[in-house]
Structure 1
Amino acid sequence: MPTLIGSVQRALRLLEAVGSHSEGAPAKQLAREAGLPLPTAYHLLRTLTHEGYLRREGGVFVLGDAAGRLAGGGLQQKRRSMILDSLAHFRDVVGAPVYFAVFREGEIEVVGVSDTPASPAVDEWAEFRATGHAHAIGQCLLAQLDEKTRKDYFDRHPVVAVTPYTVRDQRTFEGRIRSLGRMQPVTERQEYALGTVCAAIPITVGDVAATMAISLPLCQQERLLYVVDRLRSEVGALLSTLSFSISI
């Protein structure tokens, strides 16, 4: 095990050395910078190249695609953790499950959810991305789109009854969103899940349609507007973190 750990440490030092040279560097220079004997450096460089972490071009070594994916994955995880931490904070502030979602590449995407055992999030019993007309998250996102983009969405995900309270057709849905004031919250009662009420607020993250939402059991529906107003008053402090999610 110590030998294996030592090999990993040496390989990581080589990767760091390669990463410090945008145009690449030869084996001898990399061995010197990593503090490794040249034969050891050659062996590790060949292994890292074989695995795709490095490429050899014109006698120098540069980072390969696998290294890029590794770095990107770490950054992605860091961003996602930041978002979830922020959502957890606001979950505690408003006392309800908090959701963050975006409309990306023609689809509704729930980026993060934060809830507690005592106040669980709504179960995704019908696919969120295909039922945007039924839940507050989707209604809020679709309301921010132009008619052409919205039509493209409904061509792929037609309006269907999810519960007895769901909007029945696209024309009715369009009438509903036209009646909304700009940047006003959207509320729905039992349209996606029986026994649940939800609200969502539109937020601006670059040029991407985004929303934050909350859900409550039907027996607490009198709290809905208070909770969403509390979320609106707090959300400004969260936007810098949420903007990271667009690239996740």
Structure 2
Amino acid sequence: MEHRKVTKPTTIQSVERATKILLAVAAAPDGASAKEVSNQFNLSLPTAYHLLTTLVREGILSKDARRRYALGPLASVIADAVAGSLVAPQQYLDALTSLAASTRETAYLSAWRGGRVTILQSAEGVHAVRVAGLTRGYCDHLHARASGKLLLAYAPEYLRNSQLEQLKLTRLTSNTITTRRELVAEFARIINEGVAHDNGEFSEDVYCVSVPIIERGSVVACLTVSVPVGRYQSDSAMILARLQDAAEAARVTHS
């Protein structure tokens, strides 16, 4: 049998560089200088400057009197479009479907949208557990959902603190976390283990477990499996392993 050689998609180096610079500037609280960008990405100073100048000219970045670059006015167009959309990369949706099939349980894909942890899509396995209200677009009760706790734990400090100030820790079941102290302690455990659990905290007798989808070091979404508590106790190792495999398979970036 003839085996075809798998080739990587053709990419444009200048676009790759500009994208990496844009993401780096977005992540820098005080912006970045051309020299800092040059050093971070091992670029010549003229190359870094020309890429930054192009992004400024297009309105994606801005430059202040200190010659530091920050997000520009048109960056908000992208941010607003993402915030208002429930669309997810096809690779994420494929991983979600495969996860539901391999675990035979209900699986969810969630991400930040408009400042809320929102369900972007769900997929049912043959043993599907339907939890009332947990449908596409649902974004309430972050403190009681595995996905909500996970994405809050990994969120930038300013976003996490803002959410905690607004969050009503409503008791939904006898297991629901209802104090900020408990929730913050839960965040530390999630960061340490890389996984979040909902042990009947949102819905009695339903166990949910979430793992992050990580792109270039940032948690951008998460996958969750929902299962009856009793079944999770016997299948936990399998479910967690397949969740982690699915999250890795979902990744769009691999450098």
Alignment TM-score, normalising by the size of structure 1: 0.58
Write out per-residue CA displacement over residues 109-131 of structure 1, whole angstroms, 9 at most, x where no aligned residue.
11110014641342227995221
CA distance in 1 between counterparts of 2:97 and 2:206 reads 20
For the 8 Å contact 1:187–1:198, the answer to whether it is kept is: yes
Secondary structure at the counterpart of residue 174 of structure 1: helix
Q: What are the ranges of 5 or more consecutive residues in structure 1 without an aligned counterpart? A: 1-71, 242-248
Q: Please say if 1:172 is aligned against 2:182.
A: yes
When residues 118 and 234 of structure 1 are mapped into structure 2, their CA distance, relative to the original with a 3 A threshold, is: closer
| Alignment match, 1:194 | 204
CA distance in 2 between counterparts of 1:227 and 1:190 reads 17
Greater per-residue helix proportion: 1
Secondary structure at the counterpart of residue 110 of structure 1: strand
CA distance in 2 between counterparts of 1:125 and 1:234 reads 21
For the 8 Å contact 2:105–2:127, the answer to whether it is kept is: no
- Alignment partner for residue 226 of structure 2, among 211, 215, 221? 215
- Alignment partner for residue 113 of structure 2, among 104, 108, 112? 104
| Alignment match, 2:215 | 205
| Alignment match, 1:34 | none
| Alignment match, 1:161 | 171
CA distance in 1 between counterparts of 2:199 and 2:150 reads 14
Shift of residue 148, structure 1, vs aligned partner: 2.2
4+ residue runs of structure 1 moved beyond 4 angstroms?
76-83, 125-128
Asked which structure has the greater CA Rg, the reply is 1
Shift of residue 158, structure 1, vs aligned partner: 1.8
Shift of residue 154, structure 1, vs aligned partner: 2.5
Shift of residue 193, structure 1, vs aligned partner: 0.4
| Aligned Cα root-mean-square deviation (Å) | 3.0
Secondary structure at the counterpart of residue 120 of structure 1: coil
| Alignment match, 2:244 | 232
Write out per-residue CA displacement over residues 186-225 of structure 1, whole angstroms, 9 at most, x where no aligned residue.
1121000011001000221364531111010122121134
For the 8 Å contact 2:117–2:139, the answer to whether it is kept is: yes
Shift of residue 86, structure 1, vs aligned partner: 3.7
When residues 205 and 123 of structure 1 are mapped into structure 2, their CA distance, relative to the original with a 3 A threshold, is: farther
For the 8 Å contact 1:91–1:115, the answer to whether it is kept is: yes
Give runs of aligned pairs for residues 134-153 of structure 1, distance below 5 A. 134-153=144-163
Give runs of aligned pairs for residues 83-94 of structure 1, distance below 5 A. 83-94=92-103
CA distance in 1 between counterparts of 2:167 and 2:86 reads 30
How many pairs does the alignment contain? Answer: 167
Write out per-residue CA displacement over residues 50-86 of structure 1, whole angstroms, 9 at most, x where no aligned residue.
xxxxxxxxxxxxxxxxxxxxxx9xxx89967665444
CA distance in 1 between counterparts of 2:250 and 2:201 reads 28
CA distance in 2 between counterparts of 1:179 and 1:77 reads 29
Alignment TM-score, normalising by the size of structure 2: 0.57
Secondary structure at the counterpart of residue 167 of structure 1: coil
- Alignment partner for residue 104 of structure 2, among 95, 103, 113? 95
CA distance in 1 between counterparts of 2:125 and 2:190 reads 31
Secondary structure at the counterpart of residue 221 of structure 2: strand
